[in-house]
């Protein structure tokens, strides 16, 4: 899961990436790892944006690397603006913080609210709901054993639950589950 990362747009149209543990670099087609990671998260949390980006860049789909790069680049250009040293665009918990990007089409663009400032899918998946239920009385390791999942997969589900519900701790997830499922 992507964490502690800053994105910013340059006047020449380039998107720059600054991870906490490394130097600044230009987002380009060769950055397959971050592109794949971002696409997975966009598809998971903002499926309408993912669908629209896929439609917009479908003419490039025969060149998968370029197609995916264009999707991620557009998402970044629409949602992350200036270099901000006060807070991460993707924080230490994997939560994404969109910025109001200066755009001449603001208020007129058909993709506003879809790609730009998209709506997050906040409904938990069936598996996430199951993990939330088990967190009320089991450890992450016990959940992994019970569901026959890797501990990493359980952690990913926990992170997704926290992001969707805007919670910070496992205890908050357990409390949320108990209060919504009695």
* Domain annotation for the chain: domains and CATH numbers: 1-121 (no CATH), 126-180 (1.10.10.10)
pLDDT band at 104 (very low <50, low <70, confident <90, very high): confident
Specify the pLDDT at position 84: 75
Nearest to 170 by CA among 180, 181, 155, 182: 155
pLDDT digits (tens, 9 = 90+) for 119-172: 888 899 999 999 999 998 899 999 999 999 999 999 999 999 998 898 889 999
Distance separating alpha carbons of residues 124 and 34, to the nearest angstrom: 24
pLDDT digits (tens, 9 = 90+) for 20-68: 988 999 999 999 999 999 999 999 999 999 999 999 999 999 999 999 9
Residue 83 pLDDT exceeds 80? no
Residue 108 pLDDT exceeds 90? no
- Predicted TM-score (pTM) of the model is 0.82
Instruction: For tokens 């987002």, name the residue.
Output: 27
């Amino acid at each position: 899961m992507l964490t502690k990362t800053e994105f910013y747009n340059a006047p020449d149209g380039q998107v720059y990436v600054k991870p906490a543990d490394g130097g600044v670099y230009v987002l380009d087609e060769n950055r397959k790892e971050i592109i794949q990671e971002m696409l997975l998260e966009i598809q998971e949390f903002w499926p309408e944006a993912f669908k629209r980006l896929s439609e917009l860049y479908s003419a490039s789909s025969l060149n998968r690397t370029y197609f995916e790069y264009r999707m991620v680049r557009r998402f970044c250009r629409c949602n992350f603006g200036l270099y901000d040293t006060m807070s991460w665009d993707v924080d230490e918990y994997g939560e994404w913080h969109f910025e109001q990007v200066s755009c001449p089409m603001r208020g007129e663009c058909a993709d506003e609210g879809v790609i730009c400032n998209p709506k997050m899918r906040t409904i938990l998946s069936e598996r996430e709901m199951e993990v939330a239920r088990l967190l009320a009385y089991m450890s992450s390791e016990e959940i992994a054993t019970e569901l026959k999942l890797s501990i990493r997969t359980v952690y990913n589900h926990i992170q997704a639950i926290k992001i969707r519900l805007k919670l910070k701790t496992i205890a908050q997830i357990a409390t949320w589950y108990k209060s919504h499922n009695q």
